[in-house]
Amino acid sequence: MFGFFIFAQMEEKKLKILTVVGARPQIIKAAAISRAIKSSFFGKISEKILHTGQHYDANMSEVFFSELGIPAPDFNLNVGSGTHGSQTALMISGIEKVLIAEKPDLLILFGDTNSTLAGAVAASKLHVPVAHIEAGLRSFNKAMPEEINRIMCDHASTWLFVPTIAGLTNLKREGFDDSRIAEKKVNIDNPGVYHTGDVMYDNSLFFSDVADEKAPLSGILRKVFEEGYKKLSAADRAGEWHLKKGEYILATIHRDNNTDNAERLNSIFRALSDIAEGVTVVVPLHPRTEKMLEKILEPMLYERVVRLRDRIDSGDFLSGALSDNPGILLLPPASFFEMISLEKGARMVITDSGGVQKEAFFFNKPCLILRRETEWVEIVECGAARLVDADYDSIIDGYSDFLNKRVIYPEIFGDGRAAEKILGIICGTDFSK
């Protein structure tokens, strides 16, 4: 009986966490937290996962849970697409119901999507403490929905876990006081601000070798263009029909101000097409981008963009390595491990993604950022990345400069143990009323 009493007490002390994800990057970030719970906080924390369904395409979401070893979500709101208002409203309502039913000790939120905003609103109204991972980032462009989301989430949070020194500076500028971390009884009016490093850096270190095994460069094209590959001659199949490290450029475009603007999308792909005259440019297509290519690209430019993919699909492919046949190579959305392999093997990265520009830095790849501003200012300030917007000349000039420039990659994003630090801080918080 005495032993049972001790066990019951231990169960009562277990911290109950609800983690909210909705977009692919958040699922990846959640992997670091779930992994740290299993390895370092087993028996101390119980976690349930809520998926809002903001990214509902299987290639953009579901496959990541199985790839990263994360348990299937305990709750899925399946909100799908919609206007910002309608989508966020559905999320707030769904998250609120789960919070009331589950009564977690805290809610963990990542980044800056509509799912993040919805979680912060729902939790703050019910007085459920919020832990915001990737707090303090600012692009200083409030026309970006993400900027509003991250600011509002920060100001509704009890714990703000900041990946970089610049993020800490941003929060101090907004009135947050990191000296409060000495007080254990943090709350929404007395939030704790902590510089912990970046959970995505944790993941990049952890999964780097796994990606080489699960998604080697030699297999990515054969998987994607299976039918075209079957049409190749035996000699070509035995040849070097794959991507070679350092012999291609990786590009990703997904932000709506690029994909839905004809002038900007044409400018970006005109630059990529000219670069691709001399080197293969690999473009894993976001569903939004694929939808808009044929719709708004100029007809002759569209033909240049799809030429290499069409040749491979039809089996009309020249013998020899892919590097001997440059062009833009359009791929479906890449899995997490495929993306790591593509990033590690690229000579340079061109992107409008906040996550990809940072991962390029993790793997020591220079990066051209297809935006006017970035929340990751440190990688620009140290010379590892350059803001080129959607300007043709800036993209071409930046590409040429990085081909001949020696880039240094200082330690900015921590030591690869951000998740453990975050959970340790939360576990040390006094939850007594």
Q: Is 107 left (phi over 0), alpha (psi -120 to 50) or beta?
A: beta
Rounded Cα distance between 354 and 387, Å, is 12
Task: Note whether 402 and 386 are within 8 A (CB).
Answer: yes
Provide the residue type at 260 as one letter.
Answer: D
DSSP string, 243-305: --TTSEEEEE---HHHHT-HHHHHHHHHHHHHHTTTSEEEEEPPHHHHHHHHHHS-HHHHHHH
Residues 6+ apart with CB under 8 A from 108: 17, 18, 19, 20, 30, 33, 131, 133
Q: Are 24 and 55 in contact (CB under 8 A)?
A: yes
The CA angle 292-298-303, to the nearest 5 degrees, is: 90
C-alpha distances in angstroms, 202 versus 31, 148, 266, 338?
10, 26, 36, 18
Is 127 catalytic? The answer is: no
Q: Is the Cβ–Cβ distance between 322 and 277 less than 8 Å?
A: no
- Please state, in angstroms and rounded to a whole number, the distance separating the CA atoms of residues 154 and 148: 10
| DSSP bridge pairs for 264 | none
Distance, in Å, from the CA atom of 368 to the CA atom of 386, rounded to the nearest integer, reads 5
* Rounded alpha-carbon distances, angstroms, from residue 117 to 43, 71, 113, 137, 192: 30, 24, 7, 14, 19
Report residue 375 as tokens: 């929340």
The single residue listed with the structure tokens 């293969």 is 280
d(CA 161, CA 168): 9
List the catalytic residue out of 51, 55, 254, 286. Answer: 254
Q: Which residues are catalytic?
A: 254
